[in-house]
A and B are shown apart, each in its own frame.
Chain A
Amino acid sequence: MSRTSRPFITLLIVGGVLATSAPITGQQAPAGAPAVSKPAAPAVSKPGAPAARPSKPWTPKRTPDGQPDLQGYWQTQGTSTGRQDRNIDLGNGKPGGDGFWAYGTGWSSDQQRQLPNNLPRGVIDPPDGRVPLLPWAAAAKSEIIDNAENPRSLADVDPHARCLSSGVPRTNYALGYVGYQFMQSPGYVVLYTELSHQTRIIPLDDRPHLGKDIKLFLGDSHGKWEGNTLTVRTKNLRVPASTGFGWLDMQATLYSDQLEVVETYTLVDRDTIAYQAVVTDPKVASRPWTMAGMFIRAVDDYEVYEYACHEGNKAITNIRESIELRNSSKK
């Protein structure tokens, strides 16, 4: 592992904005000011429970092109796919039973920064806190959980264990010990995830989405500011070709290539971004559903480290050998 310097990362990614955006979309980067509207009151996300507002309105500073400034280093907290009825043994506790979360949502009371406890977290719509899976998707999830300890094939293994991209929105609640760097340049917001160096370059103009046949692991994201809220629409999401579905979490909550996500990032105060994502996937879920959580500003000297996932990933070799050993012992 090597350490990657902050200026280098910034240069690399912001440079990447200019280098990659136009060719991908076939359009020119926007000239002049980005689409930044300034309604009188700060907007909050529309679906589900709204993000709580601070008691005193807070005015973030602006970037030179007029965007609310959300730049800096962040850590994710609270966002999840909600309650799980059953779960795969991830090695982090006794498996099974209601109330076991796909992702940790707790944070100890003596954490470094005081978290805003009034922000919603987990699945906030539907009210039962569970992803409204269609019967077939619930059955598929259950079958994978049944086989996860002795996988029949890699279809029973989290694609992320293969170092495939987490996709959207999973990049935003991937792991607790990796951070995020948010950057802005004229006409763009860049969301960089330390985990596997996943970078979302989000234009703020009105260019059309990519054609429906072009699929990308991080999809095609377009953003727009309304007050202190950045709304990002993402579609064209790709799923692993070998299995036909991606995983929204470590618990085989599947998603299809029909997935569309509308995220809102609301600057609540200097150190907090309220996050919500409305997830629509008609192949998998009976209706749109909403997850919520937040980003908390990382400590002042937070540094992004290299996380080249493929560098030394032995998991798949070990799992394949386990499957072969098990199959040979049956003969």
Chain B
Amino acid sequence: MSLPVAQRTFVVAALALALCQMSVAAHHAFSAEFDREKPVKVQGKVTKMEWVNPHAWLYLDVVGDDGKTVNWGIELGAPNALVRRGWRTDAVKAGVDLVIEGYQAKNGKSVANGRNVKFPDGRELFVGSAGTGAPSDSK
């Protein structure tokens, strides 16, 4: 079936909206893998994004207070969930600055479950994370 671009966009947006409005989907191992008591906020340059299943991953070079650069891995939703919410493979490119809020992994490494992804000017690229299943909030 072929639809005009505008109509297709509407259908995709409507589907994304409908899926987001479903009860927040759960992460199969959230509490075993991530620490609800350790919220983190990191800012840095994207080094790569992996569109892999069952969760996509975003990697950022983050410069710490000590001046050292640490590469953080941020778990996002499943690729099909991201696509259905409007993400595209070119949505985030290497070198882009992002601010990410999430919950740190329990393995002590620079790994987190992403919750919100924003550009430094505050524009939100990704609000909520039904697919990733991070603790829900009011956003």
Q: Which of A92, A299, A325 contacts B25 (CB 8 A)?
A: A92
Confirm or deny: B72 has a beta carbon within 8 angstroms of a beta carbon on chain A: no
Distance in Å from the Cβ of B12 to the closest Cβ of chain A? 8
The interface on chain B, measured as residues whose beta carbon lies within 8 A of the other chain's beta carbons, has a size of 55
Q: Is B53 in contact with A1, judged by CB distance below 8 angstroms?
A: yes
Distance in Å from the Cβ of B32 to the closest Cβ of chain A? 5
Q: Number of contacts between A and B (CB, 8 Å)? A: 172
Distance in Å from the Cβ of B76 to the closest Cβ of chain A? 11
Q: Is A104 in contact with B32, judged by CB distance below 8 angstroms?
A: no
Confirm or deny: B138 has a beta carbon within 8 angstroms of a beta carbon on chain A: no
The interface on chain A, measured as residues whose beta carbon lies within 8 A of the other chain's beta carbons, has a size of 55
Which residues of the partner chain A approach B113 to less than 8 Å between Cβ atoms? 91
Q: Is A176 in contact with B1, judged by CB distance below 8 angstroms?
A: no
Q: Is A299 in contact with B14, judged by CB distance below 8 angstroms?
A: yes
Closest A residue to B84 by CB, please name it. Answer: A177
Q: Is A104 in contact with B1, judged by CB distance below 8 angstroms?
A: no
User: Complex: how many Å from CA A158 to CA B26?
Assistant: 12
Distance in Å from the Cβ of B4 to the closest Cβ of chain A? 12
Q: Is B78 in contact with A307, judged by CB distance below 8 angstroms?
A: yes
Stretch at the interface among A27-35, A122-130, A259-267, A310-318: A310-318
Dominant SS at the A interface?
loop
User: Complex: how many Å from CA A307 to CA B82?
Assistant: 12
Q: Please encode chain B, from 92 to 125, with 1 for each CB lying within 8 Å of some chain A CB and 0 for all others.
A: 0000000000010111110101000000000000
Q: 11 new A-B pairs (CB below 8 Å) besides A307-B54, A308-B53?
A: A1-B52, A1-B80, A95-B31, A103-B26, A105-B23, A112-B18, A163-B54, A175-B25, A177-B25, A177-B81, A306-B53
Pull 20 A–B residue pairs with CB atoms less than 8 Å apart, ordered by A: A1-B56, A91-B36, A91-B133, A91-B135, A92-B25, A104-B24, A108-B18, A110-B21, A151-B32, A160-B28, A163-B54, A176-B130, A177-B19, A312-B50, A312-B55, A312-B57, A314-B57, A319-B33, A321-B109, A325-B107
**Which B residues lie at the A interface, using CB under 8 A?**
1, 3, 8, 11, 14-15, 18-19, 21-34, 36, 50-57, 73, 75, 77-81, 83-84, 103, 105-109, 111, 113, 130-136
